[in-house]
Amino acid sequence: IEHIEAAGVHSGDSMGVIPPQRLKPETAEKIEELALKLARRMEIRGFLNLQLAIKNDVIYMLEANPRSSR
């Protein structure tokens, strides 16, 4: 889900779109690789909720929760 608002808006107050509209394909691939590496490292069996911010093609991980969300 791509949030429409800038980083800092609470996810419960935000709008999002699927599929992401402004994400470069290479950034999407990096996110998928990051998520898989993290899930394997944490030995996640199930959902992994990642909150990420992207600026100038740099991915920042804000939060990682081994659960589903909203």
**21-45, pLDDT tens digit by residue?**
888 999 999 999 999 999 999 999 8
At 7, is the pLDDT very low, low, confident or very high (cuts 50, 70, 90)? low
Judge contact between 68 and 47, C-beta under 8 A. yes
pTM of the prediction?
0.76
DSSP label at 15? -
Q: Largest Cα–Cα distance in the chain?
A: 32
What does the pLDDT read at residue 70?
55
Contact between 39 and 50 under an 8 Å Cβ cutoff? The reply is no
3-state secondary structure of 39: helix
